[in-house]
Amino acid sequence: MITKNSSACRRSNVTISGANPAASSIVFLHGLGADQSTWRLLAPAFEDRYRVVLLDLVGAGQSDAAAYDYVRHGSLAAHADDLLAVLHELDLHNVVFVGHSISSMIGVLAAIKEPARFGKLVLLAPSPRFINAEGYAGGFAQKDIDELLAAMENNYAGWSQGIAPVMMGPERPELVMELTNSFMQTNPAIAQHFARVTFFSDHRAELPLLTTPTLILQCAHDVIAPLAVGTYLNENLMDSLLVVIDTPGHCAHLTAPAETLREMEYFLSIPQYSPSVN
């Protein structure tokens, strides 16, 4: 595995592995509280055919935390621009993008802005808006989000220990501990700011602008991005397919990696996709 040392790649701690540089590229971007190591159960499966590109959100993992700008990164658009900067620097087009949770929407925004850079999108537990609105069930009432963010700011360690079982499911204590530790290794001020940006984001209006073929992988028992959100995305993205994975929590790439990989492989292997049959 090599690390690129150029500016955008260094800022986002880009690592590249797999096939030769002439191969097609698959790009993975993690969600809130994680870093690129969250893809360890999926990414290696693509190294024989793809140039595998992993990166950290600016402010997370081993990225350049000094590059996190509280004003600029006050919207997901800045993170989409960070992603595009990496693709520009590596001269990548027609990539497969795999995003988890809020990074799914970062990928959507980037693909809308520069569609030639993206061939297909795989969105794991995506949500365009987390707060309920008239005619839209996002999963949380406004007061729920206010309380969540207040708890995060008042007791970051306690909040991390409380949210991790919700995201992973209590049946996997080793994954709960892993995510808790990941939260604790993140600068609390950056984590709190990014959480506020995440949970107050609303990108429903942009969905009809996306033209890239998209696979939506939704967890069957996810309180953060419930099934109604996956259905909403499927109805509002012009070229999308929805597959539900029977796993608890919000992180199917860790709790159900075999099923997640199976659906990804099938989606990427054929032009006309329909969910595989168990």
Q: Which residues are catalytic?
A: 101, 222, 250
Determine the Cα–Cα distance for residues 218 and 263; give it in Å rounded to an integer.
11
Pick the closest to residue 39 from 247, 253, 246, 218 (CA basis): 253
Task: Note the pLDDT tens digit of each residue in 16-64.
Answer: 999 777 789 999 999 999 999 999 999 999 999 999 999 999 999 999 9
Strand order across the beta sheet in which 240-248 lies: 2-3, 15-18, 51-55, 25-29, 95-100, 118-124, 214-221, 240-248
Model pTM above 0.85: yes
253 touches 117 (CB < 8 A): no
39 touches 14 (CB < 8 A): no
> Where exactly are the structural domains of the chain?
2-130+202-269
Structure token pair of residue 189: 């001020």
For the domain spanning 2-130+202-269, the CATH number is 3.40.50.1820
Task: Note the pLDDT tens digit of each residue in 58-99.
Answer: 999 999 999 999 999 999 999 999 999 999 999 999 999 999
Structure token pair of residue 239: 């070229």
